[in-house]
């Protein structure tokens, strides 16, 4: 068993997007080894690129350099694997932990091949979320690995492809990894580099990850980020990483049971939730009566004009009360959907 099976969280995984040369990985690793929070050195060996002419990683040669960096610094290593051949080579060069990338997790055939190749190793495996916001696909990848007997699993949240304009390279949609954590009870790290796609948003995103009780960070670091062969815009120097980590405000994950302020506020929330539930039940009841009436009069269940009117009015009232458009839309869309269902 690998010594770092009992991984300590929070955990910071740092290192270059790609291993580019012996000097690059050694210089970067030596600086990272000075940062106590960094427990694992990452380095991409096979890079999944959108366009075929882009740099696709150094392959086996890069693994030799990654091993040298581990020997020189004592930092255990991690790399991305996408095929059984990658697994075989990574194990040959004593890589300590693996991750499955976002583009691989979308394909259950690939994940199954990796699970089969990993059978019997019990090496720690991090599973990134799939590119698309599909929680089940992410959960399914863990199930395949668990079935293959892998027990040291953790997730990496790297954001999702999003069709709307956004300041992020990959939109965080924090609710999805939070739900994954609830379902699988696994550590979830945040890959702030691939979420942000730039250096400016990294600090705030890392803080958000801490505030939301995630279990660590993955950060792309390069001794000379501007010259990086891949993801130059988002990589930072080890020195910048140290600064970023120092600037984080920690938050306790557990609250003291006897905290009187929190206890009082929580009791208030419980009362309000109770009222909300009573109101919802009353509303559904009236909605059913309307449904009966529509049936009697031969009216369609969906009355689009009325629904548009309600939503517009609620959005206006909500805005006056300081409630976000997103919240009002989500809540009333859910209520409307349930009402329609009850009237069918």
Q: What residue ranges bind Mn ion (CB under 5 A)?
A: 17, 231
Pick 17 or 114: Cβ nearer Mn ion: 17
Distance CA 36, CA 193 (A): 20
Q: Min. distance of Cβ 29 from ligand PEP in angstroms?
A: 16
**Whole-Å CA distances, 315 to 38, 141, 312:** 46, 39, 5
Pick 128 or 339: Cβ nearer ligand PEP: 128
Contact call for residues 103 and 76 (beta carbons, < 8 A): no
Which member of 58, 70, 158, 181 binds ligand PEP (CB under 6 A)? Answer: 158
Distance CA 167, CA 201 (A): 9
Q: How many alpha carbons lie under 13 Å from residue 164 in its C-beta half-sphere?
A: 4
133 binds, among ligand PEP, Mn ion, none (CB under 5 to 8 A by kind): none
- What is the CB neighbour count within 10 angstroms for residue 132? 13
128 binds, among ligand PEP, Mn ion, none (CB under 5 to 8 A by kind): ligand PEP
Per CB under 6 A, does 58 bind ligand PEP? Answer: no
Pick 103 or 199: Cβ nearer ligand PEP: 103
140 binds, among ligand PEP, Mn ion, none (CB under 5 to 8 A by kind): none
**Residues touching ligand PEP: how many (CB under 6 A)?**
11
Residues 236-275: x where in contact with ligand PEP by CB under 6 A, - otherwise, as a string: ----------------------------------------
Per CB under 6 A, does 17 bind ligand PEP? Answer: yes
Stretch that binds ligand PEP, among 58-66, 85-93, 95-103, 316-324 (CB under 6 A): 95-103
**48 burial via Cβ count (<10 Å: 0-12, 13-18, 19+):** middle
Count of H-run helices and E-run strands, the chain: 13, 8
Sign of the alpha-carbon dihedral angle for 298, 300, 301, 303: negative
Taking phi first (over 0 means left), then psi (-120 to 50 degrees means alpha), and beta for anything else, what does residue 98 get?
A: beta
Pick 130 or 291: Cβ nearer Mn ion: 130
Per CB under 6 A, does 197 bind ligand PEP? Answer: no
Contact call for residues 112 and 144 (beta carbons, < 8 A): yes
Name the site residues for ligand PEP (rule: CB under 6 A).
17, 44, 48, 80, 101-103, 128, 158, 191, 194
């Amino acid at each position: 068993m690998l010594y770092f099976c009992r991984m300590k969280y929070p955990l910071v995984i740092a290192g270059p997007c790609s291993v580019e040369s012996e000097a690059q990985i050694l210089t970067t690793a030596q600086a990272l080894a000075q940062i106590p929070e960094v427990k694992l050195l990452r380095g991409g060996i096979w890079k999944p690129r959108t366009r075929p002419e882009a740099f696709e990683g150094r392959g086996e040669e890069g693994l030799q350099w990654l091993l040298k960096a581990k020997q020189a610094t004592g930092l255990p290593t991690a790399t991305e694997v996408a095929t059984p051949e990658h697994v075989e080579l990574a194990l040959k060069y004593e890589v300590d932990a693996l991750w499955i990338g976002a583009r691989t997790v979308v394909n259950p055939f690939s994940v199954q091949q990796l699970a089969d190749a990993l059978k019997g190793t019990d090496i720690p495996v991090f599973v990134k979320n799939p590119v698309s916001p599909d929680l089940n696909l992410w959960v399914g990848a863990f199930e395949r690995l668990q079935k293959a007997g892998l027990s040291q699993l953790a997730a990496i949240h790297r954001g999702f492809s999003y069709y709307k304009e956004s300041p992020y390279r990959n939109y965080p949609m924090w609710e999805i990894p939070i739900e994954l954590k609830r379902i699988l009870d696994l550590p979830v790290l945040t890959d702030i580099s691939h979420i942000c796609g730039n250096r400016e948003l990294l600090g705030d995103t890392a803080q958000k990850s801490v505030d939301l009780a995630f279990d660590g960070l993955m950060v792309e670091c390069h001794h000379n980020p501007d010259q990086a062969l891949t993801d130059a815009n988002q990589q930072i120097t080890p020195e910048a990483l140290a600064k970023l980590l120092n600037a984080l405000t920690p938050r306790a994950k557990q609250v003291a049971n006897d905290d009187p302020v929190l206890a009082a506020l929580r009791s208030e929330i419980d009362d309000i939730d109770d009222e909300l539930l009573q109101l919802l039940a009353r509303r559904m009841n009236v909605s059913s009566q309307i449904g009966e009436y529509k049936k009697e009069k031969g009216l369609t269940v969906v009355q689009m004009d009325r629904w548009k009117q309600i939503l517009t009015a609620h959005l206006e009232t909500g805005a006056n009360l300081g409630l976000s458009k997103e919240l009002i839309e989500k809540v009333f869309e859910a209520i409307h959907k349930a009402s329609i269902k009850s009237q069918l």
